[in-house]
Amino acid sequence: MKIEDAKILLVDDDTVMRMFVVNLLSRLGAHHIQEAADGQQGLQLASNFNPDIVLSDIHMSPMDGLEFVKRLRTHAVLALRKIPVILMSADSSGQMPNDWVPLGISGYIIKPPVLSVLNVKLEHALKFR
């Protein structure tokens, strides 16, 4: 699947970061983007929007990104359980912790994302969609 055709759900509590990422996604040709301000809103939008991929911040309140992914992976709708998720964080370690493996995380991006890195991560995750 191409980025241009993908339905992308962006979950981040920082309004400015969401605007920045939406701008990058638009530059990559994405047309179908929905935004959520936290994990709870992300779950509600995922149920209605049925995204092809999710970009989610890790540190949010009241529901953080990891709890969001855990709930997505156990969602009543089977199709939502399999959505590729790329996590984003300002933590620059660049390493995905081992406890993320069971969650089926498709990638990790350091914020603010760089256009070329975002492109590569999205293309990789969407290959299997």
Q: Which CATH number fits domain 3-127: 3.40.50.2000, 3.40.120.10, 3.40.50.2300, 3.40.50.1110?
A: 3.40.50.2300
Cα-based angle 52, 56, 58 (whole degrees, multiple of 5): 155
Half-sphere exposure of 80 (CA within 13 A, CB side): 20
**Cα–Cα separations (whole angstroms), residue 60 to 49, 83, 88, 89, 110:** 21, 20, 11, 10, 15
pLDDT tens digits in sequence order for the chain, 129 residues long: 999 999 999 999 999 999 999 999 999 999 999 999 999 999 999 999 999 999 999 999 899 898 999 999 999 989 999 999 999 988 766 555 666 667 888 888 999 999 999 999 999 999 976
The rounded distance, in Å, linking the Cα atoms of 83 and 125 is 10
The size of the chain, in residues, is 129
